[in-house]
């Protein structure tokens, strides 16, 4: 290696962006800053500018940026064994498996790397269950405005209207109905149906919370028809909604549940969990190169352990309620048409379709938030965020709204 090729200092921002632009496929338009450091609720760019992060990698960094407990766990594991093989036991897989099954209503786990992959596994499991127990039923009922990931099958399952026509032909076997409409699900069930798949809160769809009657009704309906209830808790799970899993607040248990995002607190790890009687996979049916990878397992153990030890889901519920209360108090001044959410997954509807502009101006003012729709703003801070940080966020948000509305 030549002396010139040894990089000792980060290159200037413009060079880093130029390299990224010239070498990466263009799939997203990014602002002109390069993020280089994160701690707790804050992230810094290469120029030293500090941002209050109420995005946290799309509800991923549940313990905030670079939490010491996660740093310690992955550093220790990296020194022991980063990657064994999915076909060999390692010392961490059973530990995370037990943490999740002991603390949920599900009995068995399969680990993978992304939410979409976990959902693909859920779909395969449901189809295999249908083949084995339901006369070959294979269709899954999903909902409009749902989001289950970006693999071709999950794009087919998701209910994003603007994905219609994209990458066609889609994977067949999905029937979409309106969210929170139990009768629509009842009408859509046929002898071909093997499962119903919903998010307890539609996150990407604009923070739409499932009604208690709806999820309870879905559970009852699935039992009546002998089909499976799959809950996609990729965004709602691991404390985000105020309990370790959102389903706990509905007094029901899913047959299959998927997790991702918060599970690794920033490290890519996801899981598919199921009740014993649904676990119909046989050896060779499911797998992944990074399944149960020790480093990912160590991250999951650290995050879930911390959630339980410090009762962080409870804290998320208290802070989330406070955030919603404060947003409701601002309703009159800004004309918000709705404030909703569960725990620290919170959305607010603006009176005008200016949400993308609000997000851009907040970014300029040092605040990261997100707009899942033209008039909807979503907040998904670290579950460890403080009241002071919530107030700081609301101050910047209000200032921007005063300019724009
Ligand atoms: N399911 C839900 C509910 C999600 O919110 C997401 C991502 O936003 C996914 C699945 C896909 O997860 P991933 O991007 O890790 O594949």
Q: Which domains does the chain have, with CATH numbers?
A: 13-60+313-404 (3.90.1150.10), 68-309 (3.40.640.10)
Residue 4: its pLDDT value, please? Answer: 45
Strand stretches in 317-383, DSSP E: 338-342, 345-349, 367-368, 370-373, 376-379
Residue 187 sits at φ, ψ, to 5 deg, of -65, -30
Residue whose pair of structure tokens reads 């596994």 in the numeric block? 121
Per-residue pLDDT of 118-162, as tens digits, reads 999 999 999 999 999 999 999 999 999 999 999 999 999 999 989
Residue 6: its pLDDT value, please? Answer: 46
232: helix, strand or coil: strand
- Residue with CA closest to ligand 1 atom 12: 115
Record the tokens describing residue 48, joined without a space: 């030293």
Q: What is the pTM of this model?
A: 0.97
149 alpha carbon – ligand 1 mean position (Å): 5
110 counts as catalytic: no
Task: Kindly state the average pLDDT of the residues 34-61.
Answer: 98
Does the pLDDT value for residue 107 go beyond 60? yes
- Band of pLDDT at residue 9, cut at 50, 70 and 90: low
113 CB less than 6 Å from ligand 1?
Answer: no
In sequence order, which residues have a C-beta less than 8 Å from that of residue 344 and are 6 or more positions away? 240, 241, 242, 316, 319, 320, 323, 379, 380, 381, 383, 385
* Ligand 1 probe mutation, 111, 119, 149, most atoms within 8 A of CB: 149
The single residue of 111, 138, 255, 261 carrying the catalytic annotation is: 261
233 CB less than 6 Å from ligand 1?
Answer: no
- Residue with CA closest to ligand 1 atom 5: 235
99 alpha carbon – ligand 1 mean position (Å): 22
For residues 380 and 204, what is the distance between their CA atoms, to the nearest angstrom? 11
Asked if 223 and 252 touch (Cβ cutoff 8 Å), the reply is no
Pairing of strands 338-342, 270-274: unpaired
353: helix, strand or coil: coil
76 counts as catalytic: no
Does the pLDDT value for residue 98 go beyond 90? yes
232 counts as catalytic: yes
Angle at which helix 387-404 crosses helix 312-329, to 10 degrees, equals: 30
Residue 2: its pLDDT value, please? Answer: 39
- Band of pLDDT at residue 3, cut at 50, 70 and 90: very low
The helix or strand, by DSSP H or E, that contains position 284, with its residue range, turns out to be none
Does the pLDDT value for residue 104 go beyond 60? yes
139: helix, strand or coil: strand
* Ligand 1 probe mutation, 143, 198, 201, 261, most atoms within 8 A of CB: 261
234 CB less than 6 Å from ligand 1?
Answer: yes
Task: Kindly state the average pLDDT of the residues 15-27.
Answer: 96
* Pick from 241, 280, 232: nearest CA to 107: 280
Per-residue pLDDT of 220-277, as tens digits, reads 999 999 999 999 999 999 999 999 999 999 999 999 999 999 999 999 999 999 999 9
3-12, 166-175, 200-209: which has the minimum mean pLDDT?
3-12
């Amino acid at each position: 290696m030549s002396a010139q090729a040894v990089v000792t200092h980060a290159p200037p921002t413009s060079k880093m962006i130029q390299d990224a632009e010239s070498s990466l496929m263009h799939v997203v338009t990014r602002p002109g800053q390069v993020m280089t450091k994160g701690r707790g609720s804050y992230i810094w760019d290469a120029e030293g500018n500090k941002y209050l992060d109420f995005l946290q990698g799309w509800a991923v960094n549940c313990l905030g940026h670079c939490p010491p407990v996660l740093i310690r766990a992955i550093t220790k594991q990296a020194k022991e064994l980063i990657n064994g093989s999915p076909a060999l036991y390692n010392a961490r897989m059973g530990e995370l498996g037990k943490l999740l099954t002991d603390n949920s209503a599900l009995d068995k786990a399969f680990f993978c790397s992304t939410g979409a992959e976990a959902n693909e596994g859920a779909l395969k499991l449901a189809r295999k269950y249908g083949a084995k127990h339901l006369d070959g039923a294979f269709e899954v009922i999903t909902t409009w405005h749902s989001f289950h990931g970006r693999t071709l099958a999950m794009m087919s399952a998701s209910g994003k209207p603007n994905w219609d026509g994209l990458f066609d032909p889609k994977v067949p076997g999905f029937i979409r109905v309106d969210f929170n409409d139990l009768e629509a699900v009842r009408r859509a069930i046929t002898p071909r149906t093997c499962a119903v798949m919903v998010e307890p809160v539609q996150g990407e769809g604009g923070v739409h919370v499932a009604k208690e009657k709806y999820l309870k009704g879905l559970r009852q309906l699935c039992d009546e028809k002998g089909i499976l209830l799959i809950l996609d808790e990729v965004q709602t799970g691991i404390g985000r909604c105020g309990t370790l899993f959102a389903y706990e607040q509905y007094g029901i248990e899913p047959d299959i549940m998927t997790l991702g995002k918060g599970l690794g607190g920033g490290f890519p790890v996801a899981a598919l969990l199921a009740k014993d009687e649904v676990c119909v996979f046989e050896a060779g049916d499911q797998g992944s190169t990074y399944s149960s990878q020790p480093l990912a397992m160590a991250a999951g153990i650290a995050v879930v352990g911390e959630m339980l030890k410090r009762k962080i889901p409870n804290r998320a519920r208290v802070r989330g309620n406070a955030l919603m209360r404060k947003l409701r108090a601002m309703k009159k001044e800004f004309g918000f048409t709705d404030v909703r959410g569960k725990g620290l997954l919170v959305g607010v509807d603006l009176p005008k379709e200016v949400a993308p502009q609000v997000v851009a101006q907040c970014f300029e003012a040092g605040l990261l938030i997100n707009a899942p729709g033209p008039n909807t703003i979503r907040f998904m801070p670290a579950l460890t965020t403080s009241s002071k940080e919530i107030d700081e966020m609301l101050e910047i948000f209000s200032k921007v709204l005063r300019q724009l509305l």
